[in-house]
Amino acid sequence: MTSTGGSMKPSELQGNILITGVTGFIGRHVLYEFLNVAMETSWRNKIYILLRGKKGLSAAARVEHLLTHEYLPDYLKKYDYQELADNITAIDGNLEDSDLGLQVCSLIPREEQLYVIHNAGSVNLFNTAAAEQEVHHTNWLGTINLIHAIELFNSKLVFMSTAFSCGIVDGVIGDNFSFYQDNSFRNHYEKCKNLTEKFIQSYCTEKNIKYQILRPSVVCGRLIDAPLYYISKFDVFYGWTKFFWNLQNQGSTESVRIHISRNSKVNIVPVDFVAKSVLAFFQQDIPYVNIVYPESINNRYLHASLLDALHFNRYEFIDEAPTNLNKSEKLYYRSINKVYTPYLNQCSNEYDTQLIGSIMGSTVMPKIDLHSLADFSICNHFDEEMVY
């Protein structure tokens, strides 16, 4: 098994695992890590995954797609599909199902410990009414429904939140977000994650349900396990880069003035580091962990590196929002800027990494290779159909 750098041995795993969001980017990598444990150790409990048929594919077909994927980690490619699939039971449903509890109880034995790794959710960063409704429905109501569904089990809920759920704060950010009160947030997504965390802490304490809240920062492609640089969704800084890739392909020759604060920075973590952190922490009696890197990256350096990978040099970073916009700038500030400006200009935090560092160590923290991450996206034309 690929080492997590921590003290927990895979052979110590006990109980069954239920994973939500396995078709998402983080969720599929969490599934891959648990499958690796199942294949390489004597742990023989079951991995259950919650998913439903979609786009003409049955739930079983979607599982097969995940396990025969071109970008399946190399550590699983030595096994054939059936060997991997034998460790998985698919529950054909989703978080919104009114009978979710019945579905779970009919397939998962209640006498055994159940760990619920809840990755499913919407990452809609827009500040629109539609975005608010989406994150409320999927992230808030879906999580509440899931908690009710597992109440009859001896269970532990491991909730995948975000390192941005503390909202806009100053200084070094620790793992305990209860210190941050009366928060202001960059978007509905952050606020909803914050409220969901508070509900989990309150309700699970009342019902004597164990819980853990894990908070990754901005997640990038794989940097530990080959094939490297893989990502399934070109959003966040990938989406920002895609805008300029499109601009370039459209033959634009205009320069773009980009409003990015000189001192703003963002923390980035590879998805395989996130998944290995889940494996290292989920059985430990630790209520919350920020899954972050020891140093955040200056936003001007980050975005200059991405544009350099595109060979796009018609830009200038500026300290204030520009006036007298040209056509390309109007497009940028009308569309892409609405999502990213808060992170380019209202984000300058570092994180206290003592906890994550003590468990994960530095051996699984490779340098964030921005050029190679961007090159993967460029080679795949920012087309999610090519990599999903």
pLDDT digit string (tens) for 90-106? 999 999 999 999 999 99
Quick: pLDDT tens for 349-372.
Answer: 999 999 999 999 876 789 999 999
Query: Residues for the chain: how many in total?
Result: 388
Q: Which residues contact 212 (CB under 8 A, 6 or more apart)?
A: 156, 157, 158, 159, 281, 282, 284, 286, 287, 288, 289
Q: Tell me whether residue 275 is exposed, middle or buried, using C-beta atoms within 10 angstroms of its C-beta: 0 to 12, 13 to 18, 19 or more.
A: buried
Summarize the confidence of residues 117-139 as an average pLDDT. 95
Q: Where do the domains of the chain lie?
A: 13-223+267-294+350-366
| Residue carrying structure tokens 């009308």 | 334
Q: Which one, of 209, 3, 20, lies nearest residue 96 by Cα?
A: 20
pLDDT score recorded for residue 2: 41
Here the tokens at position 23 are 């078709």
pLDDT score recorded for residue 184: 92
Quick: pLDDT tens for 104-125.
Answer: 999 999 999 999 999 999 999 9
* DSSP-assigned letter for residue 223: S
Q: Which one, of 320, 213, 211, lies nearest residue 260 by Cα?
A: 320
**Residue 221, CA atoms < 13 Å, CB-side half-sphere:** 26
Instruction: Supply φ then ψ for residue 375, to 5 degrees.
Output: -60, -40
Query: What's the start-to-end Cα distance of the chain, in Å?
Result: 25
| CA distance to 38, 46, 81, 118, 175, per residue, from 63 (Å) | 16, 15, 10, 17, 34
pLDDT score recorded for residue 238: 96
Question: Strands, E, within the chain: which ranges?
Answer: 16-20, 47-51, 88-92, 114-118, 155-160, 210-216, 218-220, 256-259, 265-266, 268-270, 288-291, 297-298, 315-318
pLDDT score recorded for residue 38: 93
pLDDT score recorded for residue 8: 42
Summarize the confidence of residues 128-133 as an average pLDDT. 96
pTM given for the model: 0.95
Q: Under a CB-based contact definition with an 8 Å cutoff, are residues 5 and 139 in contact?
A: no
- Please name the CATH architecture into which domain 13-223+267-294+350-366 falls: 3-Layer(aba) Sandwich (3.40)
pLDDT score recorded for residue 7: 37
Instruction: Supply φ then ψ for residue 213, to 5 degrees.
Output: -115, 120
Q: Could you give the CA distance from residue 357 to residue 355 in angstroms, rounded to a whole number?
A: 5
pLDDT score recorded for residue 10: 52
